[in-house]
Every structure is written in C-alpha cells, then in structure tokens.
Structure 1
Amino acid sequence: MWRIRGAGLIALVLATQRPDMCRSLVLIEAPSVTVHLEIPPKPLQLLKLFLSNPKLAFAIAKLGAGTFGPAEKAFRKGDDKAAIAHFGRGVLGDRAFDGLSEERYQQVWDNRGPDRAQALYHGFPDLRNVPLSRVTMPVLLLSGNSSPVVFRRLNDALADRLPNAIHRIIPNASHIVQEDAPDEVNAQIAGFLKT
C-alpha cells in the first residue's frame, strides 16, 4: 500500500480554501503542527503554545528534539539510513518501526524523499492564520492509540478548532492506522459517512 505523505494536511488546506468542494473530511493523523507554529518553530511561538496548550507544546517539542532534530542532522550528513530510523521511530514509535516487514521498510526507504523534505522543513504550509472556521463540513479525525502522543494532541487541538469535528482513537494502531487496523478504520469511516 502506498501512502501520500501529508495527504491529510493537503485535504485540510483544500477544505479551508475551497470548502464548497468538500462534503465531509476524514483526516488520519494529519501533521497539523503549522496550525500552531512555524516549522521550525520560533522560541516565542513555542512559549506561547506552552502557555495556551502545554500538553500539545510538550508533545511537539519532544517530536522536534527527539525526531526531527536527529533526522535533520542525519539527512544533512547524507546518512539516510540513520535519518529514516530517527524519523520512523519518532513518527511510528519503536515497536511499529521495528515491526515493519522487509517489504514495508523497502517502501519507506524508496519513498524517503518526502521524509527528507519534512525533516529539512520543506513543504509545510503555514496554517496559523488560515480560517479553520470555514471548515464547516463534518470532519472525522482518526488517531492510533499506539501512535506517538503528538498526533492525538494535534487531533484534539483540531477537534477544538473545527466547528463540526469528532476525534476517534483506533485501538491497536500506530501512526499507520489504516494499515494496523484496516477493519476498524473502514468501520469508523463508513459509520461517519452514513451520518
């Protein structure tokens, strides 16, 4: 299965710019950090986020220091293998990353370009001033319960800002929720689309 990196973020941007084109929206752990901060974040922005939403700020800071920082350094040195390990462990969690099949790891390796772009801070649109209130269609936000906490925090924050959003946590799933729990994801989406 091929994944488009950041597809949830692209869908969110589309919904803010052209809400007339979206009847409903399903976002699976969209990397919506730039709703809150620039990438890379400026210290004052991070401080303000710590004051308004300390749990989210801590989760983002942890992701930056433990994942993006080491991955960026490794990519800049040309050590893609180490960079992918840092990035994969930070985004998937150690257990899910270590559990990738050889074939699935090869897909990650073959598609490391978008991971490199993310780790080097390319391609994240600044959404801090985007009117999320325009996203009035029903929105389903999905998170994996075994995924790094930052994704649940980001989805919680989106659910608070989007007028018609619900957030569901999928059991026994990492960041690759649709791969870890396809039946539950399909059931959640089918139920959501029926309402």
Structure 2
Amino acid sequence: MKALKFTTLLLLLIGFLGCKTQNPTLQEKSQTETLAVDRPKSVNVRGETIHYIEKGNGEPIILIHGAIGDYNAWALQMDTLALNHRAIAISRRYAWPNQQPGPDVSFDCTVALHAKDIVGFMEEMKISSAHLIGHSYGAMIALRTTIDHPSKVKSLVLGEPGVETMLSGTVKGDSLINDFRTNFDVAVSLYKRGKHEEAVRQFLITVLGSDEVYDVVPQAVRDGWLQNLVEGICIAETQDLASISHEELSQIKAPVLLIKGQNSPAYLATASDSLNLVLPNSELRLLPNASHGLQGENPSEFNKLVVKFLNDN
C-alpha cells in the first residue's frame, strides 16, 4: 500500500533514532541523547514529572503527541521550527519517560486532564501564551486547552483530531464512529488478554487501515509502541472523543491550521473536513503522500505548511 510505504519511512526515521531509548531496560537512562536535542529536561506539573525536549528561541511552540507516542513523535519538526521559534515537545502524562501506571491500574486519561497539564506546564515554564501543535489525541487536547484558556493560545495546528461530534448525527458519520470504536474495542480486548503486540497491531489497523508496517520496522520501534500502549488502551476505553461540542468549537477565535493526510481513514479525514466548516478562523490543507502519520510520513511538506501558517499568524 502506498500509504504504508510512507508510514514505514516515518517509523524508520523517527522510530529507530528517536525511540531507541524507550527499551524498558533503559528507562533509567532518560538523559540519553535524542534525535532532536542533546538532552531531555523535566518539570513538575500538577504532581507529575513531565519530560520535554526544546530547541531554539522566540515565540514558544508546544507540540503535543497522540496515543502510544511521546516527544520523539516530533523529532523531524524540531530543527525546522527552532529556526524562528522556541520549539518544545512534551511527553504527556503517562508517556515515556514519565512515570507510567501498571496494566491493571485505573487512571484518568481524558482530554480535560491533559489540557490542564498543558496549562500547568506553561505556568511552570513561565509561558504566558504559545502556539500549539497537536497530532491525533494531542490535537484534541490542544482544542480543549484553547476552549478553556483562549488567552494562552496564539494559534493552533491540528493533525487529524478525531472529534466525534463532527461526525455524529448522520448515517455515514455514525457508521464511521461505530467502525472506529469497534476496532478500538478489539485492541482493548487483546490487551486485557495479555496480547499486547496484537493490541498494537489493532491500533495500527484502526488509524492506518493495516498493520503491515509492524513487521517492517526495527524491534526498537515496536518496543516504543508497547511501552506507551497503556495510555492508548485507557483512551480507547474512556471514549472521550465526543467530549468537545459544536458550540465550544464555534467559539474558538484563534487561527487554526487543519492538516489531513491524502491517504487517511475516512473517520479522521471527514472529521477534519467538518471541523473546517465549524471553526470560525480555520484553513484546511491536504498533506500528500501521507496517512495519519502526517508529520513523519511527509515531514518536509508538513513543515512547510506549518512554517507558512506561523509566518502568516
């Protein structure tokens, strides 16, 4: 599949170089070098140690990764964004190398919780306002942060947030939601039966349409997915993708760049199309030769779109 070829490039570049430190036996070496910067840093946010990487100077940009990821998801953006900005990629609560809950522990992974963490992080870092760039669940978090704290957000770049309220209420939309949730339910079931590798494969099927890429990437990449899987399962169980309403979205005044992949699943692509109609100050751009991996599958074009948007706003 054409999309998977580019997804494979994503994982070979980011996964092998960035996630190679995610092997569970190496957790204590959280200060090892990363692809994007010399060393990660950490700050206490609302009782949790949150790790991040940063580079550059200027207006701050905070990059928020999606499920089963961490700050390495933005390794191919850091150098470009740091040319004119202070680029900060965080590992969200529960993501490597932060403390992670055990597989049988119940915990809060809602969009609202993570949005509070973003605000708390900004306060600890003495950042009064920032541009937010979010991917997938990270884009949902960026939206909630903007809704609850509009003065703290200068602009938004959103990579395919799966906002269910953009789809529900029509036969097609409800069908897409049902299929998406059914796939996630399969992942949860596999995880609870101790079949963690199969659960990761099911996540790939849900967001990419195939798990073929799992067999192509280095073991270090698969280890990274497995290490961050616990929050992905929580997200799938919580089903918080319908927590943002039309009315809330229509009140967002900040400039918004929506980016969707040329080969992305209909659920995610349609949600972006609908968001563009609801958000008052948005623009939608199609990223060629990419599926839901976006910033890693076609980093050059992704970066160009983001830089132009930031320059215009």
What TM-score do you get using the length of structure 1 for normalisation? 0.81
State the secondary structure of the residue aligned to 1:75: helix
The residue aligned with 2:200 is 84
Letter of the structure 2 residue corresponding to residue 11 of structure 1:
A
Is 1:163 the equivalent of 2:280?
yes
Bigger drift between 157-166 and 54-63 goes to 54-63
The C-alpha deviation readout for 1:24-62, integer Å capped at 9, x for no partner, is 1001112322x358xxxxxxxx5xx12xxx433332222
The structure richer in helix per residue is 1
Letter of the structure 2 residue corresponding to residue 27 of structure 1:
L
Is 1:186 the equivalent of 2:296?
no
> Could you tell me how far apart the structure 1 residues matched to 2:262 and 2:193 are?
33
Letter of the structure 2 residue corresponding to residue 30 of structure 1:
P
Select 1:134's aligned residue among 239, 251, 257. Answer: 251
Identity of aligned residues (%): 27
> Could you tell me how far apart the structure 1 residues matched to 2:216 and 2:272 are?
25
Q: RMSD of the TM alignment (CA)? A: 2.3
The structure richer in strand per residue is 2
Which structure has the larger Rg? 2
> Could you tell me how far apart the structure 2 residues matched to 1:146 and 1:32 are?
18
> Could you tell me how far apart the structure 2 residues matched to 1:193 and 1:172 are?
23
The residue aligned with 2:24 is none
> Could you tell me how far apart the structure 2 residues matched to 1:9 and 1:96 are?
27
Bigger drift between 108-117 and 176-185 goes to 108-117
The residue aligned with 2:269 is 152
Bigger drift between 10-19 and 71-80 goes to 71-80
> Could you tell me how far apart the structure 2 residues matched to 1:188 and 1:129 are?
26
CA spacing shift, 1:70–1:105, aligned 2, 3 Å: same
Note the 1:72-111 alignment, pairs <5 A: 72-94=188-210, 97-98=213-214, 101-102=217-218, 103-111=220-228
The answer (yes or no) to whether the contact 1:140–1:167 under 8 Å persists in 2 is yes
> Could you tell me how far apart the structure 2 residues matched to 1:107 and 1:130 are?
37
What TM-score do you get using the length of structure 2 for normalisation? 0.52
> Could you tell me how far apart the structure 2 residues matched to 1:99 and 1:187 are?
31
Where structure 1 has 5 or more consecutive residues not aligned to the other structure, the ranges are 38-45
1:130 CA displacement? 5.4
Letter of the structure 1 residue corresponding to residue 199 of structure 2:
A
Select 1:19's aligned residue among 145, 150, 154. Answer: 150
User: Across the two proteins, how many residue pairs are aligned to each other?
Assistant: 180
> Could you tell me how far apart the structure 2 residues matched to 1:134 and 1:151 are?
22
Is 1:8 the equivalent of 2:177?
no
Higher relative contact order (CA 8 A, sep 6+): 1
Where structure 2 has 5 or more consecutive residues not aligned to the other structure, the ranges are 1-17, 20-64, 68-136
The answer (yes or no) to whether the contact 1:16–1:130 under 8 Å persists in 2 is no
